[in-house]
């Protein structure tokens, strides 16, 4: 986590540093471009200023050339002075003078030097060329640009020279304070003309300028991309930082200079760099935000996945536990079923025990009779009374058939039924149960009333198990009526759904009806032939397994009534 945070801070730091470096680059590039533009502009401005100056001076040069040959000049005297004065007044020249070959002034108007001997421009004129010079007239006097034009005689010799003084201050007048600051230096490096009066008479030293007297103000110069940049503190009317552009002007023997303020270029470059930096930072912020959001999403996803995995693991564990429980329950159910089956079998065997005494008596009787009939039959055969012997044999056969039926019923009862629940005719089951219990009931003197329908009544159940339930009910009824004077069992069948079999006796009734289906509940003598207390609880389980119900209560007129309700099953024809 800490490492990730550190990596993120490092990435942001790296990004900001890169943006800063690029911003500096953009600033430099922009500034360079702006300086190029500024230099171009400066050169154009300087050319304009120089053209203007040379154009203005040209008037005076031409004046000197044209006036030099004026005939009144040759005459000299007052006429010449008046001529020069008139011309000076009309042209605004500072002064005009005509000098002879030795330099002595012959005619003059306005101000000018007293003697021109030795002056370079005069010498040049005396040589027949046009001379020019710049100079202050007198110490601290006005600045003038001088043009000296030769005056030729008829034979072509130079007779003298006309000098015209152009007033520089006059030329500068409507030019002062304009932008950019421009100045023109003489060959010696002195500022002679400028639209910034404070620079006049400053001298060039090295790259910059310094005033004629006093300490030089702060100044530095450097070169950038082929441009010369000056930083200076030369007053309110001169820029603090400027691009210096210079251009030699051989026509007037001076060099022109312009100082282009670099502040706007810096501002433009700064603006470009700021926009670039702002865009980069905004872009970076957007990227950062997107990355952060993506990272947060990934984190949330991972958390969700972990939670889902945990939950899935928990659910799987619960599922396994549930499955284990289900299989345990199934095992328990199977064990219970087995125990129930064993109990049913035990109950059946106990019932068999009870009825076996009667059965053996029942079988013994026909056996004795068979023996008797057989003996008699043999004697009849010997006496030749075959018809009587035949009747004995017929009786023997009938008795044997009866015994076979009793034995088959017993076998059926003892069989452990594993058949599933099927359709069973309940009337036949009641018949078989009665037949099984017949000996016992007859012995006890119990009469049976059985309202038997003449058609089968179909129910859902198991034949053997239903028989077991009914045998148990008849046996219990017989037990209950042991002391009763009137011993009767009434069996009624109510068709419908459910089909209800009612077994009613004329005994004393049930002592504790709510307990009779409890296992091992018995009011019978302990240790007796009966009295295990399992008969009804087993019957209850069996009837329930068919989807039916068994109930026992005391009947209104006395005695007990047991109702076995069974699900009706469709008749075979209907099912087919």
Nearer to ligand ADP, 76 or 531 (CB): 531
Q: Which range, of 329-337, 367-375, 429-437, 504-512, touches ligand ADP by CB under 6 A?
A: 504-512
Annotate each residue in 506-545 with x if it binds ligand ADP (CB under 6 A) or - if it does not, as one string.
-x-xxx----x----xxxx-----xxxxxxxx--------
Which residue is nearest to ligand ADP, using beta carbons? 535
- In angstroms, the CA 67 to CA 61 distance is 10
Out of 480, 491, 542, 543, which residue is the one contacting ligand ADP (CB under 6 A)? Answer: 480
Is the N-terminal amide bond of 498 cis, ω within 30° of 0? yes
- In angstroms, the CA 203 to CA 188 distance is 8
- In angstroms, the CA 137 to CA 168 distance is 11
Annotate each residue in 96-135 with x if it binds ligand ADP (CB under 6 A) or - if it does not, as one string.
----------------------------------------
Nearer to ligand ADP, 252 or 534 (CB): 534
- CB-hemisphere CA count at 13 Å for 427? 12
Query: Residue 130: in which H helix or E strand, if any?
Result: none
Min dist. Cβ of residue 416 to ligand ADP (A): 20
Count of CB atoms within 10 A of residue 123's CB? 16
Nearer to ligand ADP, 272 or 537 (CB): 537
Min dist. Cβ of residue 451 to ligand ADP (A): 19
Query: Residue 550: in which H helix or E strand, if any?
Result: strand 549-554
Rounded (5°) CA angle 225-228-231: 120
- In angstroms, the CA 328 to CA 325 distance is 5
Out of 409, 476, 498, 565, which residue is the one contacting ligand ADP (CB under 6 A)? Answer: 476
- In angstroms, the CA 533 to CA 515 distance is 10
Q: Is 74 helix (H, G, I), strand (E, B) or coil?
A: helix
Min dist. Cβ of residue 541 to ligand ADP (A): 12
558 binds ligand ADP (CB under 6 A): no
Nearer to ligand ADP, 79 or 528 (CB): 528
Q: Which range, of 32-40, 94-102, 502-510, 568-576, touches ligand ADP by CB under 6 A?
A: 502-510
Min dist. Cβ of residue 482 to ligand ADP (A): 10
Annotate each residue in 414-433 with x if it binds ligand ADP (CB under 6 A) or - if it does not, as one string.
--------------------
Segment 283 to 302, residues that bind ligand ADP, using CB under 6 A: none
Min dist. Cβ of residue 519 to ligand ADP (A): 8
Min dist. Cβ of residue 517 to ligand ADP (A): 7
- Encode 211-236: b = buried (16+ Cβ within 10 Å), e = exposed: beeeeeeebeeeeeeebebbebebee
Count, residues near ligand ADP per rule CB under 6 A: 23
Nearer to ligand ADP, 59 or 524 (CB): 524
Nearer to ligand ADP, 88 or 480 (CB): 480
477 binds ligand ADP (CB under 6 A): yes
Name which of 441, 423, 437 is nearest 572 in CA terms. Answer: 423
217 binds ligand ADP (CB under 6 A): no
505 binds ligand ADP (CB under 6 A): yes
Nearer to ligand ADP, 257 or 487 (CB): 487
Nearer to ligand ADP, 1 or 526 (CB): 526
Those residues with Cβ within 8 angstroms of residue 185's Cβ, 6 or more apart along the chain or in another chain: 191, 192, 204, 254, 255, 257
Min dist. Cβ of residue 558 to ligand ADP (A): 11
Burial (CB count <10 Å: 0-12, 13-18, 19+), residue 318: exposed
DSSP state of 104: B
Nearer to ligand ADP, 176 or 511 (CB): 511
CA 565 vs CA 163, 471, 493, 501: distances in Å: 158, 16, 10, 6
- In angstroms, the CA 94 to CA 108 distance is 11
- In angstroms, the CA 94 to CA 429 distance is 162
Min dist. Cβ of residue 471 to ligand ADP (A): 11
Q: State the residues that interact with ligand ADP by CB under 6 A.
A: 472, 476-477, 480, 505, 507, 509-511, 516, 521-524, 530-537, 560
């Amino acid at each position: 986590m800490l490492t990730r945070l550190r990596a993120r801070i490092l990435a942001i730091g790296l990004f900001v540093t890169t943006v800063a470096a690029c911003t500096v680059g953009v600033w430099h590039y922009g500034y360079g471009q702006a300086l190029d533009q500024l230099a171009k502009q400066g050169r154009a401005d300087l050319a304009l200023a120089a053209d203007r100056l040379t154009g203005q001076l040209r008037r005076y040069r031409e004046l000197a050339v044209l006036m030099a040959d004026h005939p009144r000049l040759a005459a000299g005297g007052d006429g010449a002075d008046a001529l020069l004065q008139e011309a000076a007044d009309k042209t605004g020249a500072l002064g005009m003078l005509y000098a002879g070959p030795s330099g002595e002034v012959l005619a003059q108007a306005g101000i000018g030097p007293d003697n021109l001997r030795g002056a370079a421009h005069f010498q040049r004129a005396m040589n027949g060329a046009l001379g020019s010079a710049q100079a202050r007239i007198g110490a601290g006097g006005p600045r003038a640009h001088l043009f000296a034009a030769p005056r030729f005689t008829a034979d072509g010799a130079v007779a003298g020279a006309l000098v015209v003084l152009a007033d520089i201050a006059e030329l500068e007048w409507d030019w002062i304070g304009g932008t950019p600051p421009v100045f023109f230096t003489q060959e010696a490096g002195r500022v002679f003309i400028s639209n910034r009066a404070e620079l006049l008479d400053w001298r060039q030293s090295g790259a910059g300028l310094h005033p004629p007297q006093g300490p030089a103000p702060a100044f530095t110069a450097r070169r950038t991309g082929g441009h010369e940049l000056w930083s200076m503190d030369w007053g309110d009317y001169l820029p603090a930082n400027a691009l210096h552009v210079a251009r030699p002007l051989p026509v007037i023997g001076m060099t022109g200079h312009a100082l282009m303020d670099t502040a706007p270029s810096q501002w433009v470059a700064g603006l470009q760099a700021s926009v670039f930096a702002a865009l980069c930072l905004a872009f970076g912020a957007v990227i950062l935000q997107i990355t952060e959001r993506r990272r947060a999403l990934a984190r949330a996803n991972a958390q969700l996945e972990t939670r889902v995995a945990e939950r899935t693991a928990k659910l799987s564990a619960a599922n396994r536990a549930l499955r284990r429980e289900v299989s345990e329950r199934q095992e328990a159910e199977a064990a219970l079923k087995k125990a129930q089956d064993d109990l049913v079998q035990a109950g059946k065997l106990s019932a068999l025990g009870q009825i076996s005494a009667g059965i053996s008596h029942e079988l013994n009787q026909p056996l004795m009779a068979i023996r008797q009939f057989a003996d008699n039959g043999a004697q009849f055969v010997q006496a030749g009374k075959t018809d009587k012997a035949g009747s004995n044999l017929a009786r023997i056969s009938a008795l044997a058939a009866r015994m076979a039926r009793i034995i088959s019923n017993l076998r059926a009862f003892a069989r452990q039924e594993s058949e599933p629940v099927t359709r069973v005719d309940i009337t036949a089951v009641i018949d078989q149960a009665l037949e099984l219990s017949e000996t016992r009931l007859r012995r006890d003197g119990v009469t049976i009333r059985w309202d038997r329908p003449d058609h089968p009544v179909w129910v859902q159940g198991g034949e053997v198990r239903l028989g077991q339930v009914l045998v148990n009910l008849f046996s219990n009824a017989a037990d209950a009526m042991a002391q009763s004077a009137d011993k009767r069992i009434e069996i009624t069948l109510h068709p419908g759904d459910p089909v209800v079999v009612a077994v009613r006796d004329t005994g004393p009734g049930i002592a504790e009806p709510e307990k009779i289906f409890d296992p091992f509940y018995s009011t019978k003598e302990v240790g007796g032939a009966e009295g295990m207390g399992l008969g009804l609880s087993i019957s209850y389980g069996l009837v329930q397994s068919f989807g039916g119900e068994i109930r026992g209560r005391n009947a209104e007129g006395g005695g007990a009534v047991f109702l076995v309700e069974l699900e009706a099953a469709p008749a075979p024809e209907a099912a087919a």
